[in-house]
Chains A and B, each alone.
Chain A
């Protein structure tokens, strides 16, 4: 969790009550404030409770990093699709049904043996929602946002990602309305896999650029 530094007693109190139980427990201070806000907005007719549930449902079950994984697997297996991603990623993603809010203007960047891409938003939390869903806590944290631009290799090491010295690191700060999807390198040992099997290997973090994908197959069963 980001930034609880003792400046706000109400927030410290909240941590003691992290687990809410809607029916009987005392609500945390922040949960109570959000509930008050929701009550007023519903009461005034500004928001519809069913719409709130539908928004949450959509991001819990429909829009997430499995979408991006499918894009990556297609890019690995279909050179024509990869070419369309390079020339107009927004249109190529729409072919698979992905687009819309926080993915209106998409760009893909491809990792190679020589170049490693990693994406950040230093100013807030810009992130390609249609293909990766809502951003993880670490992506929104000041620790990541402040350091990946000035010290990318150290930050990558905190994800267990050690790059060779001769690999160039390119950091993409999402400061406008373009949203970036990293196409990770296809792991070794995946030649015979289907597109679905390949998609299952693609992690969310590899599509942000904080991870590289491990070789598949026998390597997975070796003790690490």
Chain B
């Protein structure tokens, strides 16, 4: 969806103000660390995947999204996911007081001893390809110009633009459908665009920008 998260090329956010690397704390308040941990632990219950989770965050109203710090966006996203899954109620989230009985979860609560193995295992997103790859390295392709209302990982700045397949990366779960529970595996390609193709005559003629694009995002260049 054309949500507030899709900021590539947008103006008005000002200069980047990096904190000095050696002095930057990992968390800027204790609640940020708790929010990270809650998000990972709740995710382990198995009620949503990474694409559903991203979609919950990018569906926040723009004024809320831009007015919230990073982990605040995570909090709002997690509350949406928990409520949608029927695991908690809005009242419980507001008061911190449990009212209803616990729901039956898809997986048991993550235990401390399983944290390191879980993080080390990760969640590989590659799948067996249902068909051969449609595109090959070096091929010219044009990104589709679609504006879906659901989740997508094709950024707006690349839509309709002409690029070149730089690498065939393998077959992965397709975010657009995975966000609603259907992994529908698709080939994924790194597509390189000239900066001038994306940003026009004022762009650095030698710079490039690449995206990792799923096969349904691409058409062969005519």
Q: Report the bound CA distance from A174 to B213 in whole Å.
A: 10
Chain B residues positioned under 8 Å from A216 (CB to CB): none
Q: How far is the CB of A177 from chain B (nearest CB, A)?
A: 4
| The stretch of A74-82, A120-128, A184-192 that contacts the partner chain | A120-128
Chain B residues positioned under 8 Å from A38 (CB to CB): 34, 38
CB of A30 within 8 A of CB of B75, answer yes
Name which of B9, B54, B175 has the most chain A CB atoms within 10 A of its CB. B9
Mark contacts of B88-120 with chain A using CB atoms, 8 A cut-off: 1 yes-contact digit, 0 otherwise: 100011111110001101000111101110111
CB of B18 within 8 A of CB of A146, answer no
Q: How far is the CB of B144 from chain A (nearest CB, A)?
A: 14
Q: For window 139-190 of chain A, which residues contact chain B by CB distance below 8 Å? A: 140-150, 152-153, 155, 158-159, 166, 168-178
- Judge if B133 is at the interface, Cβ distance under 8 Å: no
Q: Report the bound CA distance from A4 to B65 in whole Å.
A: 10
CB of A203 within 8 A of CB of B38, answer no
Bin chain B's interface residue count.
35 or more
Q: How far is the CB of A45 from chain B (nearest CB, A)?
A: 5
Chain B residues positioned under 8 Å from A169 (CB to CB): 204, 206-208
CB of A101 within 8 A of CB of B19, answer no
Q: Report the bound CA distance from A143 to B14 in whole Å.
A: 6
Q: How far is the CB of B187 from chain A (nearest CB, A)?
A: 11
Q: For window 10-41 of chain B, which residues contact chain A by CB distance below 8 Å? A: 10-11, 13-19, 21, 24, 26, 28-31, 33-38, 40-41
Chain A residues positioned under 8 Å from B169 (CB to CB): 105, 176, 178
Q: For window 64-114 of chain A, which residues contact chain B by CB distance below 8 Å? A: 64, 99-105
Residue of B nearest to A39 (CB): B96
Q: Report the bound CA distance from A48 to B188 in whole Å.
A: 37
CB of B37 within 8 A of CB of A149, answer no
Name which of A50, A60, A142, A144 has the most chain B CB atoms within 10 A of its CB. A142
Q: Report the bound CA distance from A188 to B98 in whole Å.
A: 61
Chain A residues positioned under 8 Å from B157 (CB to CB): 122, 149-150
> 6 closest Cβ contacts across the A-B interface?
A36-B96, A122-B8, A50-B112, A176-B212, A7-B67, A100-B122
Selected A-B contacts with CB under 8 Å, 22 pairs: A2-B69, A28-B29, A47-B38, A48-B112, A58-B115, A60-B33, A105-B124, A136-B18, A136-B19, A137-B28, A143-B13, A145-B7, A150-B9, A169-B206, A169-B207, A171-B208, A175-B153, A175-B155, A175-B211, A176-B153, A176-B172, A176-B188
